[in-house]
Amino acid sequence: MVVNGARCVAALLLLAFTAARAVPDVDGPLLNGNFEYPPNRSQMNGTRVTGAHAIPYWKATGPVEYVESGTDQPGDGMVLPVPEGAHAVRLGSGASVRQQLSLTRGACYSVTFSAARTCGQSERLRLSVVPVDAADAPGRELPIQTVYSASGWDSYAWAFHAEQGVVTLVIHHGDGGGAAEDPACGPLVDAVAIKTLHPAAQAAGGNLLRNGDFEEGPYVAPGSACGVLVPPMDADAMSPLPGWMVMSYSKAAKYVDAAHYAVPCGSRAVELIAGVEAALVQEVDTVPGSACRMEFSVGDAGDGCVACGPEQQPMRVVAAATGAQGPATVEYHSSGKGGHARGELAFTAEGNRTRVVLYSSGYHTMADGSGSLCGPVVDDVSLVCT
């Protein structure tokens, strides 16, 4: 991430010097990203898409189905509403949908899409961006085995660096390694959108962290009230949350917006929904021996995530940094209606790189009985060293 981030900054600086024009931003659904333009009926058999170019603006390969909101899903008879509009696609074993995108070479983008797990316990989608007409790249697998939202759909974010101006975005469902019982079975995909990511500049006031207020991040659909999951990533992968990395084996952090959640500062924040299994991490340059102070807000997203009273543990956010004697823990008694407190951690920088880490030390679920995971929100993180 650090490498990619630096490369992105360099690429953008280069663009700024070589051409005085701004990078045109993209921010919104892909063409037919909501799959509302129906496929050509003569290239379908029932719900099965039989022609590669049947769905306008997309190319389909493998067992792809065009599904309508409210219809029975094979496997478990579940009836799922569709997040955007009334249609979505189902990717069977080894199936993919792809679309060609015209972007700005050297810029960074995040892709947001909705997915619902239907029949498998551990369905995985693989996102990749490949040169036009190239074979599929290995890409990165996003695990979607954990359903966080009550609706059955979750929004996920993924990010990439555009090495060419024209690329193909591929959303692929792997076959899980084994012979699938029903090759038509697989996750539903809908609401595919893209947003230009700006490598967040360092904030004013000596804050060494980039994007400490999380204002820069993936596309959030204006009508989507479920936030966007930011899956874990390798250190060398591009992050949809510039500056930050979600460190976990398979769990995500949730990106939330002020339109639908209580957000401590600005219009975006991160809800830590996976307890100790996912942490927000950022590494910065520091002067060894300097006196550092990390400050951050801890609150609740106003989404009914209750953690107070005699029966429930309060929310606890742990902040740690290399060089600190021990971590700082902020307790927050959440009534699920919004509000926040400030926490801090003072330490002496040990080396020329300091890593700051934030995670929730507990597990919480929504008070509505849905069993959906939730947790504290963190926001407005700063690190000042003198």
Q: Is 351 in the site for ligand NAG (CB under 6 A)?
A: yes
Beta bridge partner(s), residue 191: none
Q: Is 40 in the site for ligand NAG (CB under 6 A)?
A: yes
For the chain, the maximum distance between any two Cα atoms, rounded to a whole number of angstroms, is: 71
Stretch that binds ligand NAG, among 5-13, 38-46, 102-110, 130-138 (CB under 6 A): 38-46
Q: Is 6 in the site for ligand NAG (CB under 6 A)?
A: no
What is the C-alpha separation between 106 and 214, in angstroms, rounded?
A: 22
> Least CB distance from residue 376 to ligand NAG, whole Å?
34
Owner of token pair 């904030």: 203
Beta bridge partner(s), residue 100: 168
Owner of token pair 């759909």: 153
> Least CB distance from residue 59 to ligand NAG, whole Å?
14
Site string for ligand NAG, 46-65 (x = CB under 6 A): -----x--------------
State the DSSP string of 181-234.
SSTT---EEEEEEEEEEP-PPBPSTT---BSTT--S-----TT--S-EEE----
Q: Which one of residues 18, 19, 22, 45 is an interface residue with ligand NAG (CB under 6 A)?
A: 45
Q: Which of 34, 97, 98 is nearest to 68 (CA)?
A: 34
Residue closer to ligand NAG (CB basis): 42 or 386 = 42
Reading the block at residue 84, the tokens are: 């955007």
Residue closer to ligand NAG (CB basis): 52 or 225 = 52
Stretch that binds ligand NAG, among 37-45, 57-65, 155-163, 333-341 (CB under 6 A): 37-45
Residue closer to ligand NAG (CB basis): 183 or 275 = 183
Give phi and psi for 96, each to the nearest 5.
-150, 155
> Least CB distance from residue 353 to ligand NAG, whole Å?
7
Three-class secondary structure of residue 12 per DSSP:
helix
**Which run of H or E residues covers position 17?**
helix 2-18
- Residue type, position 149, single letter: S
> Least CB distance from residue 48 to ligand NAG, whole Å?
7
Stretch that binds ligand NAG, among 36-44, 168-176, 245-253, 261-269 (CB under 6 A): 36-44
Q: Which one of residues 71, 102, 122, 352 is an interface residue with ligand NAG (CB under 6 A)?
A: 352
Q: Which one of residues 42, 121, 325, 386 is an interface residue with ligand NAG (CB under 6 A)?
A: 42
Residue closer to ligand NAG (CB basis): 39 or 362 = 39
Q: Is 43 in the site for ligand NAG (CB under 6 A)?
A: yes
> Least CB distance from residue 101 to ligand NAG, whole Å?
22
Q: Is 70 in the site for ligand NAG (CB under 6 A)?
A: no
List of residues 6+ apart from 323 with CB closer than 8 A: 292, 347, 348, 349, 350, 351, 354
Reading the block at residue 255, the tokens are: 């990106």
Give phi and psi for 89, each to the nearest 5.
-115, 150
> Least CB distance from residue 183 to ligand NAG, whole Å?
12
Task: Enumerate binding residues for ligand NAG (CB under 6 A).
Answer: 40, 42-43, 45, 51, 351-352
